[in-house]
Amino acid sequence: MKPTPKPPRNPAPLLALGAHPDDIEFGCGGVVALETRAGRPAHLVVCSRGESATYGTPAERVVETEQAAALLGATVEFIELDGDAHLEVRAEHAIKLAGLLRRVRPGILLAPSLIENQHPDHARLGRLARDAARLARYGGVDELRDSPPHPIGQLFYYAVTPEAEPPDITPVLVDVSAPDILAAWTAAMEAHTSQTSARNYVELQLTRARLRGLRAGIGHAIALFPNDPLVLDSLAPVSRGARRF
């Protein structure tokens, strides 16, 4: 094989969107940890403070999120849309997120999946993220004229719970078995103590990742669901499949 070119020295950032303070960590925290440890900058954007949840105050949730982000090696910010449990699919939200994309200029965008049978904010944020990725490329949107258009590389959906995994998209499975990755992910989830003290969320996620890993013959894996087909220059990076039983 011809030598593979080294990865670019400054890989485009990863941007992850979450509707609530713990969604990113529970749904794809291991992937964020994996990428930051490989040198890719990661930025988390959380669109509420969890103010409608059963447990935890908004102030507590913000602190937990900042701790979790640090554990994942990522920066984090909060933005305002309609608030927890009140999110709607509005054009102005998609445009606001498109402005965020033009500012962060990510190569990879992570957003909650479009499956509606979960917390209603999740799928709506996913739809807004998909629309934002498109609007960020268009030159003429008035509200976005301050920053130049930006095309992302790929949008991957993550599933906060197993029910949210889209059945009609073939996932890619990201190996998060390395001990330091798994530990960072677990710590980031556990940083959300207001949530984890009440319900077994961490067990849910680790069980899910372990089941994915067992099926693939590895330790733990997280499924991501590409919004568009992957474009490849070679089959070399995709020559591992996920079937061991």
Residue 25 interacting with a copy of itself (CB under 8 A): no
Strands 42-46 and 154-158, how do they pair?
A: unpaired
Among 62, 70, 105, 120, binds a copy of itself (CB under 8 A): 120
Find where tokens 């919004």 sit: 227
Handedness of CA 16, 149, 237, 129 (dihedral sign): positive
Nearer to a copy of itself, 58 or 75 (CB): 58
Tokens of 78: 């909060």
Quote the least distance from Cβ 153 to a copy of itself, whole Å: 4
What are the φ and ψ backbone dihedral angles of 152, each rounded to 5 degrees?
-75, 170
Cα–Cα distance for residue pair 243/245, rounded to 1 Å: 6
Cα–Cα distance for residue pair 223/176, rounded to 1 Å: 10
Among 3, 29, 30, 44, binds a copy of itself (CB under 8 A): 3
Handedness of CA 215, 220, 223, 224 (dihedral sign): negative
Q: Where does this chain touch a copy of itself (CB under 8 A) — which range of 64-72, 156-164, 183-191?
A: 156-164
Residue 130 interacting with a copy of itself (CB under 8 A): yes
Cα–Cα distance for residue pair 138/149, rounded to 1 Å: 6
Residue 197 interacting with a copy of itself (CB under 8 A): no
Nearer to a copy of itself, 43 or 119 (CB): 119
Q: Where does this chain touch a copy of itself (CB under 8 A) — which range of 32-40, 62-70, 71-79, 184-192?
A: 32-40
Residues of this chain, 201-220, that bind a copy of itself according to CB under 8 A: 201, 203-204, 207-208, 210-211, 214-216, 218
Nearer to a copy of itself, 187 or 242 (CB): 242
Cα–Cα distance for residue pair 60/240, rounded to 1 Å: 42
- Angle separating helix axes 179-190 and 23-37, nearest 10 degrees: 150
Residues of this chain, 51-110, that bind a copy of itself according to CB under 8 A: 51-55, 82, 84-92, 94-95, 107-108
Q: Give the residue from 16, 90, 26 showing the smallest Cα distance to 53.
A: 26
Residue 139 interacting with a copy of itself (CB under 8 A): yes
Quote the least distance from Cβ 191 to a copy of itself, whole Å: 19
Quote the least distance from Cβ 124 to a copy of itself, whole Å: 9
